[in-house]
Chains A and B, each alone.
Chain A
Amino acid sequence: MKTLYAEGDSILHRASARSKLVGLLLAGILTFLVTSIPLLIGLLVASALLLLSTRLGLKDLLRRLVPLAVTISILCGLTMLLQTVETGIISLLRLTLLLLVSTAVTATTAISDVMDEITAAATPLERLGLLRAADIGLAIGLVIRFVPEVAERYEVLRDAHTARGIRPKTLSLLVPLIILTLRDADEIAAAIDARGVRR
């Protein structure tokens, strides 16, 4: 399985999960407060340097960035067409900036640490009797864990089609993908029960 987390000992790796998550949140807010294009470009360069400081390999970086970068480009291209070019450029800069910062955070923070922090952050809500903090942590941990796994399964299904001489079409891949994912989700849920992770 691919994991979003990549082992290493860069400065970001050694920073606490809490400071990174808070930093990511602040970066998100800040980005949407800034409207000056030169300032956004400056921030973008800074976030690119931040990402490079994680010492991820080029191939790994591309694998992480390309899918979302494509989506962002399409979205911003449409914005330029439908609204103004300037709005499009600003969204492009903002979203790319967030992509770089969040990639740097996910690549350097272990899921279990993210879970612990989210659980801690949700504890005040638990005191109000609204939810169980550990459930929120677990739920978010599971989402982060399964994103790459579902992506990988998609590739396996595509290869299985190709190997049998069937041209893979998105729809014919989607149905088995959903069925397999649901079946595994049942097993994981059973494992969570059996292992007493949630109680």
Chain B
Amino acid sequence: MDIRFEDAEVRFAGRTVLLPVRLDLTERRIGIIGLNGSGKTTFARLINGLVRPSKGRILVDGLDVTAEPDAVRRQVGYIFQNPQNQIILPIVRDDIALGLKNSRLPKGEIEFRVQAMLERLSIGELGGRRAHELSGGELQLAALAAILVTEPRLLILDEPTNQLDLRNRNRVLQTITSLPQQLIVITHDLGLLDGFDRVLLFDQGRLVGDGVPADVIAQYEALAA
């Protein structure tokens, strides 16, 4: 999809959190890095209208996100920095099915798709579990299943490997690498960005780096030193 920022700026309570950005994102694999509080989540949330720009606008495939948030959200899946907050129903299977409730699919078909999605992510055994008893890695995968089942064309992942042990981190990495969708990944885990097409670096609400991973990561390391 074509994501276009036209001088979008974000202010919270008078404080500028994101300085005006103008850019066009079309690559298949896009990374976002930067220190804590630099504005990464705010930037990403602009794309599906969870945060509204105080100035400027964001167009996703030509649709103005502020004017038509629902049309944009149908195409854009978003996994929150804390996926716990996006699990709406307590049982994993029910929560995944919830995303299909508006699809008018027959009940049997919904159940079939939910199970197929669980199996695709190799978490078939999690279907009957309570979402809030899952481990961090399982929760991340369950949240991913709940989003993927609606077949978004773009997927935004906010720190998908945060708090995961090495095995779960690699499992999530493997899963997202194999996704055919366009991806935007916010991360502090720089190894995730191997093979990415483009990486953005934010610092204090300003876009300060934009290029191939090696260059931008080097810039980030210099900035953090």
Contacts and interface: CB of A to CB of B under 8 A. Distances in A.
Interface of A: 1, 3, 5, 7, 110-112, 134, 141-142, 145, 184, 187-188, 190-197, 199
24 contacts: A1-B131, A3-B90, A3-B91, A3-B132, A111-B89, A111-B90, A112-B97, A134-B101, A134-B102, A145-B88, A145-B90, A187-B80, A187-B85, A188-B86, A190-B80, A191-B85, A191-B86, A192-B88, A193-B49, A193-B73, A194-B80, A195-B150, A196-B73, A196-B74
Interface in B46-71: 48-50, 69-70
Contacts of A195: 73, 86, 88, 98-99, 146-147, 150
Contact of A196 (B85, B89, B102): B102
A109 B62 CA distance: 45
B220 interface: no
Interface residues of B, number: 30
Contacts of A134: 101-102
Contacts, number: 78
A1 B130 contact: yes
A195 B102 CA distance: 11
Contacts of B85: 184, 187-188, 190-191
A110 B70 contact: no
B78 A7 contact: no
B222 to A, nearest CB: 34
Interface in B128-164: 128, 130-133, 146-147, 150
Nearest to A152: B132
A191 B86 CA distance: 5
Given A112-B91, A184-B85, A196-B102, 4 more contacts: A112-B98, A188-B86, A195-B98, A199-B70
Interface of B: 48-50, 69-70, 73-74, 78, 80, 82, 85-86, 88-91, 94, 97-99, 101-102, 128, 130-133, 146-147, 150
Contact of A112 (B48, B80, B89, B133): B89
A192 B69 CA distance: 13
Contact of B50 (A110, A141, A190, A196): A190
Nearest to A119: B101
Nearest to B81: A187
Given A110-B94, A112-B94, A187-B80, A197 B86 contact: no
9 A-B pairs closest in CB distance? A1-B132, A191-B86, A112-B94, A187-B85, A3-B90, A194-B78, A190-B50, A196-B73, A199-B70
A41 B65 CA distance: 61
A3 B150 contact: no
Contacts of A112: 89, 91, 94, 97-98
A112 B90 CA distance: 9
Contacts of B102: 134, 196-197, 199
A142 B98 CA distance: 12
Nearest to A148: B90
A197 B94 CA distance: 12
B150 A111 contact: no
Given A3-B130, A197-B98, A197-B101, A142 B88 contact: yes
